[in-house]
Amino acid sequence: MLLDTKPVSYMIGNGALDMSEKGLLKYPRIIMLVDENVEKHCLPVFRAHLPDVKIDHVITIKSGERGKNLEQSIHIWDELTRLQVDRDALFLNLGGGVVTDIGGFTASTYKRGIPFINFPTTLLGMADAAIGGKTGIDYGAYKNQVGLFVDPVSVIIDPIFLNTLEDHQWQSGFAEVMKYGLIMDRDLWSILSGQDYHQLEDWDKIITKAARDKIDIVHHDALEKGMRKNLNFGHTIGHAIESYYLMHDKPITHGQAIAAGMICETWISSKIFDIECTQTDEIVEMIDLNFEKFDISEATIPELLDLMRQDKKVREGQLKFSLIRKIGKATHDIEVNMDMVVDSIKYYINRNSVH
Ligand code: GLY
């Protein structure tokens, strides 16, 4: 985006992996980034489908959020330097959100930027992280504290990789998929509502809809000045919960944290906008059906508020929320006072879930 205004090309749906071959064969040299899990489970699928695509070198980082830091970035830059990679090469990110975030960041800072392509392998990556040019790493206790907006050359989304996922990875991505239903896609919400994600079958359709929703948003607002902020629904409180557990050495998945955040922020939405009670009940029941409730105590609330004040969504000391006006319609930059934020977390803590 900052360096290259060419539009990103997308291939989405069954067969996308095979169709990507022609584009890949144009590059004289390909360096691939994977994590340990992807190397074991997805790289063999990639190689089996694209036997003619020569991968010059595979760089492997640690799996999970702990792989998205400065130490791992240095490892990648060291490898690129050792291999004498130049700007004609392609950096291919095969993996979930951690790989596409750190891979995009390291590729676009190495020698002022080499082209990269994202092949997301997780539901979270396919529906969200691989699309939209956000790259970066965690720094200190804060997620995505250092990074930049740079688009990949292409994003190739093939549901074939979903067969390799563990249950917690499905669940993590499912929170983001639900979010598209809530913020902009009533039709997607109707497909999902009332369903346990284990029972859903038509993932090709679900992923295609979610990915298209994200592409639509970033097409209109790449740099998050306006409507892209709607994607932050559930994330202001959710990120604080995620950072809290990371700091206390009990990391939880992004999806678990965002699901909890969406319950709190649905509650805030219902207080600020006139949402029908049946809709708020439907949302909370759907999240409870798919996500276990956390055992957070009220004593953690001050620490959660401190974490929220560090959030990138804070402007001039004021917390700005992305909220929903009804299912399928979001709005952003809504000022919410701290008392209401505290009450929303108390609502989360004190309600009875179905789990
Ligand atoms: N994951 C939120 C965004 O891409 O803006």
Together in a domain, 158 and 305: no
Which pLDDT tens digit goes with each residue over 325-348?
Answer: 999 999 999 999 999 999 999 999
As beta bridge partners, residue 92 has: 32, 117
| Closest by CA position to 268, among listed 349, 182, 345, 184 | 345
Q: Are residues 171 and 145 located together in one domain of the fold?
A: no
Q: Residue 302 maps to which CATH number? A: 1.20.1090.10
Q: What atom of ligand 1 comes closest to residue 229's alpha carbon? A: 5
Mean pLDDT of 223-244: 95
Domain contains 34: yes
| Minimum CA distance residue for ligand 1 atom 2 | 231
Query: Model confidence at 265, in pLDDT bands (50, 70, 90)?
Result: very high
Q: Does residue 132 sit within a domain?
A: yes
> 111: which residues sit within 8 A by CB, 6+ positions away?
85, 86, 87
Do 181 and 62 reside in the same domain of the chain?
Answer: no
Residues 191 and 273 in one domain: yes
Asked if residue 185 and residue 130 are part of one domain, the reply reads no
Contacts of 167 (CB under 8 A, 6+ apart): none
Residue 132: left if φ>0, alpha if ψ -120 to 50, beta else—which one? Answer: left
- Provide the pLDDT confidence category of residue 260 given band limits of 50, 70 and 90: very high
Question: Given 144, 164, 184, which residue is the final one in a domain?
Answer: 164
Both 223 and 136 in a single domain?
no
Assigned domain for 21 exists:
yes
Q: Is 256 exposed, middle or buried (0-12, 13-18, 19+ CB in 10 A)?
A: buried
Any domain includes 179: yes
Looking at residue 1, its pLDDT comes to: 39
Establish whether residue 143 lines the binding site of ligand 1, counting it when its CB lies within 6 angstroms of any ligand atom.
Answer: no
355 in a structural domain = no
CB distance 104 to ligand 1 below 6 Å: no
Query: Band of the pLDDT at 243, cuts 50, 70, 90?
Result: confident
pLDDT for 142: 77
How many distinct structural domains can be found in the chain?
2
Asked whether 235 lines ligand 1 (CB < 6 A), one says: no
User: What is the structure's pLDDT at 162?
Assistant: 96
pLDDT in tens, 37-51: 999 999 999 999 999
Q: Which atom of ligand 1 is nearest to the CA of 217?
A: 5
Residue 182 counted as domain residue: yes
| Global confidence as pTM | 0.93
Residue 209 covered by a domain:
yes
**191 lies in the same domain as 267:** yes
135 and 245 together in one domain: no
**What atom of ligand 1 comes closest to residue 214's alpha carbon?**
4
With a 6 Å cutoff on the Cβ, whether 239 touches ligand 1 is no
Among 164, 189, 213, residue at a domain's last position: 164
Using the predicted structure, report yes or no on whether residue 354 has a pLDDT greater than 70: no
DSSP codes, 275-325 = --HHHHHHHHHHHHHHSPPP---GGGHHHHHHHHHTSTTEETTEEEEEEEE
Residue 222, beta-bridge partner list: none
193 and 314 part of one domain: yes
Once rounded to an integer, what is the mean pLDDT over residues 224-233? 97
- Pick the closest to residue 46 from 67, 32, 65, 62 (CA basis): 32
Whether 6 and 53 share a structural domain = yes
Q: Residue 112: which CATH number? A: 3.40.50.1970
Same domain, 16 and 107: yes
Mutate to test the pocket of ligand 1, among 1, 126, 224, 311 (most ligand atoms within 8 A of CB): 224
Please report whether residue 339 resides in a domain: yes
Instruction: Name the domain boundary from 117, 149, 164.
Output: 164
What is the domain range of residue 42?
2-164
CA atoms of 168 and 158, how far apart (whole Å): 20
Q: Is residue 2 very low, low, confident or very high in pLDDT (cuts 50, 70, 90)?
A: very low
Burial class (CB in 10 A: 0-12, 13-18, 19+), 350: exposed
Residue 35 shares a structural domain with residue 183? no
